[in-house]
C-alpha cells in the first residue's frame, strides 16, 4: 500500500465520522424527527399552469374526506403575484357543490397568501371548485376536483350498440 492510498482512506473515514457526528451527538432525535400528536397535513397539489395564464401559482389540498352535507375545508396557497395592484380570486362551484363563505379574495403583491375555502357536497359524485385568478388583465381558471363518495361520473351514450356479422361490437350514432 502506498502512502497516497492510505491517506485517502484516512480522509474518507474522517469525512464519514464528521458527517455522522451530529446524528449521534446527544442520542436524542432532533425536532424534525420527533413525533407529535398533531395532524400531519397532506401534501399540497400544484395546479397546472398554462403559458398565457395570470402568472399566479396555486397549490391546494382537501383537509377532510368529502361527505354529503358536511363542509370540506380546501386549503389554498397563492404565490407569484407581481402586479403592484395585486391580484383577485373568485370562487365558483359546479352543480351539487356549494361554496360556504366569501366568494372573492384579494391577493397582495409579492407575498404568499393562504386561504381556506369550505365546500359542501349536496350529493355523491365528482364536482369541481372553480378558482379564477386575475392579474394584469390575464385570467387563470383552475378546477379543483372534489370527489364525494364512490359514485363515478356516468356519460350518456348517444348511440346504439350493435354487432357486425363478424361479431364486432360497434356504436351507431345519428348524424346531425
pLDDT per position as a tens digit, 114-135: 999 999 999 999 999 999 999 9
Tens of pLDDT along 11-36?
Answer: 555 555 555 444 444 344 444 443 44
Closest listed residue to residue 74, CA positions, set 109, 52, 105, 95:
105
Task: Please check whether residue 69 is in contact with residue 57, taking contact to mean a CB–CB distance below 8 angstroms.
Answer: no
Task: Give the pLDDT of residue 107.
Answer: 97
**Secondary structure (H, E, C), the chain:** CCHHHHHHHHHHHHHHHHHHHHHHCCCCCCCCCCCCCCCCCCCCEECCCCCCCCCCEEEEEECCCCCECCEEEEEEEEECCCCCCCEEEEEEECCCEEEECCCEEEECCCCCEEEEEEEEECCCEEEEEEEEEEECCEEEEEEEEEEECCCCCCCCCCCEEEECCCCCEEEECCCC
Give the residue-averaged pLDDT of 34-47.
Answer: 66
Tens of pLDDT along 85-96?
Answer: 999 999 999 999
Percent of the chain residues past pLDDT 70, beyond the cut: 72
CATH topology for the 45-146 domain: Immunoglobulin-like (2.60.40)
Domain boundaries, the chain: 45-146
Tens of pLDDT along 71-112?
Answer: 999 999 999 999 999 999 999 999 999 998 889 999 999 999
Amino acid at each position: 500500500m502506498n502512502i497516497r492510498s492510505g491517506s485517502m482512506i484516512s480522509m474518507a473515514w474522517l469525512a464519514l465520522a464528521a458527517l455522522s457526528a451530529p446524528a449521534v451527538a446527544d442520542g436524542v432525535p432532533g425536532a424534525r424527527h420527533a413525533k407529535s400528536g398533531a395532524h400531519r397535513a397532506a401534501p399540497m397539489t400544484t395546479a397546472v399552469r398554462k403559458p398565457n395564464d395570470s402568472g399566479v401559482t396555486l397549490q391546494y389540498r382537501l383537509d377532510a374526506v368529502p361527505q354529503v352535507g358536511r363542509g370540506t375545508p380546501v386549503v389554498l396557497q397563492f404565490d407569484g403575484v407581481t402586479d403592484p395592484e395585486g391580484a383577485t380570486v373568485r370562487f365558483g362551484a359546479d352543480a351539487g357543490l356549494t361554496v360556504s363563505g366569501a366568494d372573492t379574495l384579494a391577493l397582495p403583491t409579492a407575498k404568499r397568501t393562504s386561504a381556506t375555502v369550505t365546500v359542501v357536497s349536496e350529493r355523491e359524485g365528482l364536482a369541481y371548485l372553480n378558482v379564477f385568478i386575475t392579474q394584469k388583465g390575464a385570467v387563470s381558471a383552475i378546477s379543483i376536483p372534489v370527489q364525494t363518495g364512490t359514485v363515478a361520473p356516468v356519460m350518456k351514450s348517444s348511440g346504439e350498440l350493435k354487432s357486425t356479422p363478424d361479431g364486432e361490437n360497434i356504436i351507431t350514432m345519428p348524424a346531425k
